Structure 1
């Protein structure tokens, strides 16, 4: 089995394990939280019926009802008639919650109701967050060659551009494509599906989500009577994961650009770590050279002109 095939096989295994982890978490959250949510809804409906049966609503009963309603609303439970048929803890909603938690987006619109759910969320996130970062890193490493190294090499080879010019052109084109494909187009889609969202609201949601800020003031698929709600939730999950991966790719590409232009050395920042096949030794040293001068020279910051560049790409 070749190294490339084995690497792709391991990556696919990581992705399948990640999807399985999300599904297991969704099932556990749904099993724990849905009965608690149903109980809370039943209590609210009982209080609502009690208020309606009273000939004269007194201040104490009204305050008790409002207190319960506000507390339930904090957990995404509504007492409105057109919202009682929907649950926040079906499989699709639980999967969406698990995904936003392990990707650290965390809108906060839906939160665990029970102590058992909160404890499980802690354990689940402790494993899920680093697991998500591992999967994202593995995916980005595979996409760096076709989306970064390859286009840069092509610009240098076919257009005859210098390495610095080619890196700038590539980064600008990549940034424009990312903005169009992961901000503008999704914003148009969200503004069409979500009737109360303007284009600016939708663009704002995309930016807040892909930057993992997750304020929670805009959450998709939460309006009553949402058509194909489960499919919509899963589609947003896929968008968030792919979008986060692309944002990570943009950051790594910018780090490469900073190395090429010597910015990392100028600001004394860590240089981009090259993969083994993309490294070329800057200075050949004798294996037995252990003089103090050599040790001092090895710890000096590299001059910007000596930074690893896109020329190291195998062509």
Structure 2
């Protein structure tokens, strides 16, 4: 007779011993479901608009052929195909389009969007030489850009996140995890205000065809490096609204680079939250009970050295409180059957 899972607790032991793997499998399933739900919602919202637009274009094309009997349908098809091909390369056939996509400032804007992997797609190399150079340029440029952004973000993290949290932790004696969460929330509000709301108002005023929602959409899509390319600033040719197009394009380039750095700082701040670290451990943490005392000692010493090596903290002020070590010890007590190893240095502090 086969005994049930509830009788001998086999299922409970299996779940407990394979909890990180099961959590990761659940994460994969949830992400796939999230993709499917998003695709369904986008399809339900956008498909009627696409059908309506196709209908309007067919009617406009038929009206043009009816009013212009000297133009054949084949010739109109050829003209439209050529115009669309040129538009995909950033060249418009409209009469008011007199700008250039490959002057120095526009090329600088292109290189910044390519190296940051934003890639609007409105301007692309036309020649074979340009395409070949783009491959070579980005092959080395993207890793260098990632290294540059990482170095800048890590230096800013000390000034923007770690020092303020450590300072108020010492001054107010507030729990560091709660203080870090409050700081991350305030930083997110500040970034949203200065990099999304205010620039969206500015773009809505400068771009004649954009409203506030479209401007906010452009800022978000750009700073998250999605870069769909459906909205690109500087395409308006109104001299009244944009008297200095080159300076305007240069300012946009600086905004995108600085904004991307600020977004990365915010993301890194959120990822370093103790709550986020504990949540991530649910998906990849090894079973602590299988770690020997030497490995556990190395882990504790690494966490201790990370806390004591922070250049923003005073060593004497931080010796009494070491949250990361205590959290590690608490995690070991919860997950392991055997009592945890406690370093001598930590025992003295207690």
TM category, shorter: 0.5 to 0.7
Query: Of residues 224, 228, 243 in structure 2, which corresponds to 1:227?
Result: 243
What's the TM-score once normalised by structure 2's chain length? Answer: 0.61
What residue number does 2:313 align with?
314
1:110 and 1:97, CA in 2 relative to 1: closer, same or farther beyond 3 A?
same
Secondary structure of the 1:233 match is helix
Cα deviation for residue 235 of structure 1 reads 0.8
Name stretches of at least 5 consecutive residues in structure 2 with no aligned partner. 1-67, 315-350
User: CA contact under 8 A between 1:188 and 1:199: conserved in structure 2?
Assistant: yes
Q: CA deviation at 1:56?
A: 3.5
Structure 1: runs of 5 or more not aligned:
1-53, 271-291
TM-score by length of structure 1 reads 0.68
Distance 1:253 1:309, change over 3 A: farther
Q: Given the superposition, is the C-alpha separation of residues 162 and 169 from structure 1 closer, same or farther in structure 2, using an over 3 Å criterion?
A: same
- Out of 232, 254, 266, the residue aligned to residue 238 of structure 1 is 254
Residues 1:307 and 1:161: Cα distance change in structure 2 (over 3 Å): farther
> Is 1:165 matched up with 2:165?
no
Counterpart residue number, 1:112: 125
User: Of 123, 146, 171, which residue of structure 1 is paired with 2:159?
Assistant: 146
How many Å separate the matches in 1 of 2:283 and 2:304? Answer: 15
Instruction: Give the superposition deviation at 1:115.
Output: 1.4
* Within-5 A mapping of 1:81-160: 81-83=95-97, 85-160=98-173
Task: Give the drift of 1:259.
Answer: 6.4
In the superposition, relative to structure 1, how do residues 161 and 124 fare at CA in structure 2: closer, same or farther (>3 Å)?
Answer: same
Shift of 1:255: 1.9
User: How much has 1:104 moved relative to structure 2?
Assistant: 0.3
Deviation at 1:224, TM superposition (A): 2.3
Q: 1:94 to 1:159 in 2, by over 3 A?
A: same
Is the 1:260–1:310 contact (alpha carbons within 8 Å) kept by the matching residues of 2? no
Q: Give the alignment partner of residue 273 of structure 2, picking from 242, 257, 281.
A: 257
Q: Does the residue aligned with 2:284 lie in a helix, a strand or coil?
A: coil
Partner of 2:85: 71
Question: Which of the two has higher C-alpha Rg?
Answer: 2
Match of 1:268 among 284, 288, 299: 284
- Residue 82 of structure 1: SS of its match in structure 2? coil
Q: Is the 8 A contact 2:271 2:277 kept in 1?
A: no
Please report the RMSD computed on the Cα atoms of aligned residues, expressed in angstroms: 2.9
Change in 2 beyond 3 A, CA 1:99/1:269: farther
Work out the CA distance in 2 between the residues paired with 1:151 and 1:306: 20
Matched pairs, number: 237
Among 179, 196, 199, the alignment partner of 2:212 is 199
Name the SS of the counterpart of 1:262 in structure 2.
helix
Q: Deviations over 1:270-304 (max 9, x none)?
A: 9xxxxxxxxxxxxxxxxxxxxx94455468x87xx
